[in-house]
Structure 1
Amino acid sequence: MTSDPAAGAATQGWTPGRRLGVDVGTVRVGVALSDATGTLASPLVTLRRAKDQSDLDRLAELVVTEEVVEVVVGLPTHLSGASGASARDASAYARALASRIGDVPVHLVDERLSTVTATSHLRAGGIDARRQRAVIDQAAAVVILQSHLDGRSRTGTDSRGRHS
């Protein structure tokens, strides 16, 4: 598991296949899935966080059934870049998921403002605040995953020209 979104592919280059985006909350976990080319993220499901960690088991099942080649977990850092309790929780969640999915890489990526962006997109799409609650976690996972996908080119370099 790595916190650098480009580090996991440094030795592999861009691997074709589906990617899973995960927005970890204290109550719910939003999940998004990319298309097979790794170009477009779409909402998939919202899972309820469970004390028995059945949500992690369900994510591990999705990795297998959807033939996922990479998992991207949002790391909710403060605007200053500092890590708080939510970031520590997301890191622990990513480690627990990584231990369940074998060789599929799990990356932590900066997700500052992903929920704000998702809320804005939902509002622009005409979804009122009451209906947003049911899909906001998935929408945030889409923002996290799409940002990760957009930051990589298919040639193995990220959007800043660094080799990934």
Structure 2
Amino acid sequence: MTWLGIDLGDARVGLSLSDPELTFAHPIGNIQAYGDSFRALDDVIYVIEDEQVDHIVIGLPLLMNGDEGKSAKKARRWATNLIKRMERLAEEGEFRLETTPSVELMDERLTTVSAHHQLYEANIGGRSHRSMVDQQSAVVILQSALDRKER
């Protein structure tokens, strides 16, 4: 089994993968979104197929009070579009996986703060953070889901 973590952003979409035992998440990179995360959908699907992903965890950027703002609604639309596109590809025989992976949205409040702290603790300088923070946020999102599954 392999899980994929996704941190949506307008500049970059950060990605992380689990190990096959579903214990640890690790970063696998970013996909350039060029101002709109929806542009990254096809590239994310390629990763899903290449890595044989069974389950997808997408960060849901809730407001600090727990309400859903514009960003959370966009994340829900993005997840819905991802599911529809995978299902359409499967119907057309173009999806390279036996089954369409399940998708969940996970509260990602403070993941960017946590990701920055982890990068600082790893002695990665502030200038390098911008290119790494999205994939590290994806790690935090996925690791939270993996830890919750263990409990």
TM-score range, shorter chain: 0.7 to 0.9
**Among 48, 58, 72, which residue is 1:87 paired with?**
72
Q: Which runs of 5+ in 1 are unaligned?
A: 1-16, 154-158, 160-164
What are the within-5 Å matches in structure 2 for residues 1-164 of structure 1? 17-50=1-34, 53-102=38-87, 103-153=100-150, 159=151
Report the TM-score, using the length of structure 2 for normalisation. Answer: 0.86
Q: In the alignment, is the contact (CA less than 8 A) between 2:12 and 2:37 conserved in 1?
A: no
What RMSD in Å do the two structures reach over aligned CA positions? 1.5
Q: Spell out structure 1 runs of 4+ moving beyond 2 A.
A: 50-54, 100-103
Q: Which runs of 5+ in 2 are unaligned?
A: 88-99
Cα displacement string for residues 51-106 of structure 1 (whole angstroms, at most 9, x for unaligned residues): 69441101111111101000000000011101111111111111111112232111
CA-CA distance at 1:127 after TM superposition:
1.0
CA spacing shift, 1:49–1:104, aligned 2, 3 Å: same
Q: In the alignment, is the contact (CA less than 8 A) between 1:22 and 1:74 conserved in 2?
A: yes
Q: In the alignment, is the contact (CA less than 8 A) between 2:23 and 2:146 conserved in 1?
A: yes
Question: More helix by proportion, 1 or 2?
Answer: 2
Q: Secondary structure at the match of 2:30?
A: strand
Q: In the alignment, is the contact (CA less than 8 A) between 1:28 and 1:46 conserved in 2?
A: yes
CA distance in 1 between partners of 2:37 and 2:142 (Å): 26
Q: In the alignment, is the contact (CA less than 8 A) between 1:63 and 1:101 conserved in 2?
A: no
CA distance in 1 between partners of 2:71 and 2:40 (Å): 17
Q: In the alignment, is the contact (CA less than 8 A) between 2:8 and 2:37 conserved in 1?
A: no
Percent identity reads 38
CA spacing shift, 1:119–1:148, aligned 2, 3 Å: same
Report the TM-score, using the length of structure 1 for normalisation. Answer: 0.80
